[in-house]
Amino acid sequence: MAVDEALLRSFDPATSLPVLRLYGWEPPAMSLGRFQRADGVLDLERCRVDGLAVVRRVTGGGVIYHADELTYSLVCAPGQIPPAASLKDSFRVLTGFLLAFYRRLGLEPAYALDVVADGTLLGERTHFCFAGRESFDILVDGSKIGGNAQRRPRGVIFQHGSIPILNRAGAGLAYMRERSPRLVHGVVSLADCGVCAAREQLQAELVAAFRECFNVELREEPLSAAEQESAKALVTKKYSTDLWNLEGVGE
């Protein structure tokens, strides 16, 4: 999370090229949405006993249990993406490459807005990310796959999201205060959908889908020295502190 924020802080909308980052989580961890109360939604004692790290994201939304997933983050300026009718519509634009990715894997993804039954309530807030249904959440055969969140500070678009390779939602639910099975009903992973490719192949397919969707060339680069220093400082002063991770203080 410190690297994600370092990329965001280092981005200059006037001069920087868009950035796509691909990463994963090892060991598993729990990330809180920016405005969640840790002690209100998580069994912190169980997290402590099991050694499960808890970190807070700079984006909103519900808790995500990160394990056996492919994670991405994207930083760009509004003028660097295809035209969008509204802020909400930009979310559709910026998740379009995920639809292309799932199609490359032989799946038939769709936005919740386009396939849910009439009268279905979308946008209801939930403590557990995968339990909610937003308009542009991606569904496969009616079940939600992954989750995405966006933030727009100082003229920059920052978005990141989770693509579950294996379904670990039930494992994450065990660390919630509310553990109703309904919270993981209708949640699927790539493996659940019959996709059993190796992480390296999935990453290559995601890159190809991104290139195809946005008609861009991608150049692989390490973090710059400035980004590395920023991330290191953020780890020390923010992301390794209970003040930020559990209380949300220190933006």
Question: Is 224 inside a domain boundary?
Answer: no
Residues that are catalytic: 129
Question: What is the rounded end-to-end Cα distance, in angstroms, of the chain?
Answer: 13
CA–CA separation, 190 and 164 (whole Å): 6
From first to last of the 251 residues of the chain, give the pLDDT tens digit.
999 999 999 999 999 999 999 999 999 999 999 999 999 999 999 999 999 999 999 999 999 999 999 999 999 999 999 888 788 888 899 999 999 999 999 999 999 988 876 656 566 667 887 777 788 899 999 999 999 999 998 889 999 999 999 999 999 999 999 998 888 888 999 999 999 999 999 999 999 999 999 999 999 999 999 999 999 999 999 999 999 999 999 87
Question: Is 194 inside a domain boundary?
Answer: yes
- Dihedral of CA atoms 48, 52, 58, 62 in degrees, nearest 10, equals -90
Pick left, alpha or beta for residue 8 (phi over 0 → left; psi -120 to 50 → alpha; otherwise beta). Answer: alpha
Question: Is 202 inside a domain boundary?
Answer: yes
Question: Is 247 inside a domain boundary?
Answer: no
Buried-exposed string 138-157: b where 16+ CB fall within 10 A, e elsewhere: bbbeeebbbbbbbeeeeebb
Residue 80: which residues within 8 A CB-CB, separation 6 or more?
Answer: 18
What is the domain count for the chain? 1
**CATH code at position 41:** 3.30.930.10
Cis peptide before 83 (omega within 30 of 0): no
CA–CA separation, 148 and 59 (whole Å): 9
CA–CA separation, 137 and 21 (whole Å): 20
Question: Is 145 inside a domain boundary?
Answer: yes
Question: Is 197 inside a domain boundary?
Answer: yes
Encoding tokens for residue 50?
């099991």
Question: Is 15 inside a domain boundary?
Answer: yes
Encoding tokens for residue 21?
């980052």
CA–CA separation, 225 and 194 (whole Å): 41
Question: What single-letter amino acid sits at 151?
Answer: R
Question: Packing angle between helix 87-94 and helix 96-104, nearest 10 degrees?
Answer: 20
CA–CA separation, 89 and 110 (whole Å): 15
Residue range of the domain that includes 66: 2-216
- pLDDT for the residue numbered 181: 86
Question: Is 158 inside a domain boundary?
Answer: yes
